Amino acid sequence: MEKKMLKGLFGLCVVLFPFAMKRSALKEVLIIFLGKGVISTLMDVFYVRTKRIAYPVRPLPHIYKTNILYDFLFFPLLSVFWIRQCYKDRLPMVLLKSLTWSVPMSIGQWYLERTTNLFHWKKWTIFHTFGCVTFTLLAIRGLIELVKQAEHKAPDEEMGS
């Protein structure tokens, strides 16, 4: 069952990928996508090495101890769509909108941890997931804000338009 779920997640990512890659803001999209992949992977490697999380069923298990599909593809793609949702917002609205992603993702992971063999939480709770998801969303949003300020882009080139 878990391998079918991973194949389905991969298929979903393949379908979403073209919609995430918006030509007018490709540089920002790539910064989000790659930045989120790096942040997620570094955090996940740390949590796996400290035995807080384990991934019994994962792609390329002989090479990676983490779920690279989630770290390199799924979470970065979701982050691109989340940044589009809050691209022009100020901090209070960004914080509020982050909840629309971090709460469902935390609940979804909690459910999957209990019902599948995709991952096991050892020294981990739903609150850790919520904190990590929220932190990474806000970190990547902060990075994009720095890029926006550094470039002073024209409105027609922005991601949110």
- Within-domain flag for 118: yes
- Within-domain flag for 78: yes
Q: For 50-90, where are the alpha helices, taking DSSP H only? A: 68, 75-86
Cα–Cα distance for residue pair 2/117, rounded to 1 Å: 7
Site of tokens 């609150």: 127
- Within-domain flag for 113: yes
- Within-domain flag for 19: no
Band the pLDDT of 150: cuts 50, 70, 90: confident
Give the per-residue pLDDT at 158. 58
Give the per-residue pLDDT at 153. 56
Instruction: Say which residue, 158 or 85, is predicted with more confidence.
Output: 85
Q: 37 to each of 74, 91, 103, 111, 161, how far by Cα in Å?
A: 9, 23, 20, 23, 24
As a three-state string, the secondary structure of 14-32 is HHHHHHHCCHHHHHHHHHH
Give the per-residue pLDDT at 109. 96
Cα–Cα distance for residue pair 82/6, rounded to 1 Å: 22
Give the per-residue pLDDT at 155. 57
Instruction: Say which residue, 21 or 112, is predicted with more confidence.
Output: 112
- Within-domain flag for 24: no
| pLDDT, tens digit (0-9, with 9 covering 90-100), for 1-19 | 999 999 999 999 999 999 9
For residue 159, pLDDT beyond 80: no
| pLDDT, tens digit (0-9, with 9 covering 90-100), for 16-43 | 999 998 777 888 899 999 999 999 999 9
The residue count for the chain: 161
- Within-domain flag for 76: yes
Band the pLDDT of 152: cuts 50, 70, 90: confident
- Within-domain flag for 23: no
For residue 149, what is the enclosing H or E element? helix 126-151
Band the pLDDT of 113: cuts 50, 70, 90: very high
Tally of structural domains, the chain: 1
Give the per-residue pLDDT at 154. 54
Structural domain span for residue 79: 2-12+34-157
For residue 161, pLDDT beyond 80: no
Q: Which two tokens stand for residue 74?
A: 């799924």
Residue 117 backbone dihedrals phi, psi, to 5 degrees: -110, 20
| pLDDT, tens digit (0-9, with 9 covering 90-100), for 40-99 | 999 999 999 999 999 999 999 999 999 999 999 999 999 999 999 998 999 999 999 999
